[in-house]
Amino acid sequence: MGQPLEYIIIGFDGNDFSGGIATELAKIIESGLVRLVDIVFISCGEDGSIVAMEVDEHEGLSMFAELDGEVGGIIGPEDIEHAAASVEGGQSVALIVWENLWAAPMAQAITDAGGFLIEGARIPDDLAEQAYDLLAEAG
């Protein structure tokens, strides 16, 4: 089983990427939970035009350039297109790829047992909230 990589797409109204996200991302990197692999910011103009920016290509992204990690080379044009399709004109997204270091021992155990990953996905927030509500009602 390969390294446990994950991506997230975070939407924003406008193009104001919060430094608070960079601060929290730095904390989980420093804790050893994840290793930053790649990050790209994508702006969608009102006319539908798409502009992808690396952290060193825009002054407003400088706080992300300070993050510890070997960033770059994983996110390609198809990934950018996919992420941009989830927002409307005037909005933007951050596409982040990280390695789940906390999951590496489990991934190794699966491989050592002759197992292989068939599928995995992040449960959307609205469905997770419903599940937690059901658990609270049942408990």
Q: How many residues does the chain have?
A: 139
CB 37 within 8 A of CB 6: no
CB 9 within 8 A of CB 83: yes
Predicted model pTM:
0.81
Q: How far is CA 90 from the centre of its chain?
A: 21
Q: Is 44 helix (H, G, I), strand (E, B) or coil?
A: strand
Residue 13, pLDDT score: 86
The DSSP call for residue 100 is E
Confidence band for 1, pLDDT divided at 50, 70 and 90? low
Span of 2-6, 8-12, 102-106 with lowest mean pLDDT: 2-6
Q: Which residue has the higher pLDDT, 2 or 58?
A: 58
Give pLDDT tens digits for 60-83.
Answer: 666 777 777 767 788 999 999 999
Q: Which residue has the higher pLDDT, 1 or 14?
A: 14
Q: Structural domain boundaries of the chain?
A: 5-114
What is the percent of the chain with per-residue pLDDT over 70, rounded to a whole number? 90
Give pLDDT tens digits for 38-55.
Answer: 999 998 888 888 988 877
Distance, CA of 41 to CA of 58 (rounded, Å): 10
CB 34 within 8 A of CB 100: yes
When pLDDT is averaged across residues 124-128 and rounded to a whole number, the result is 86
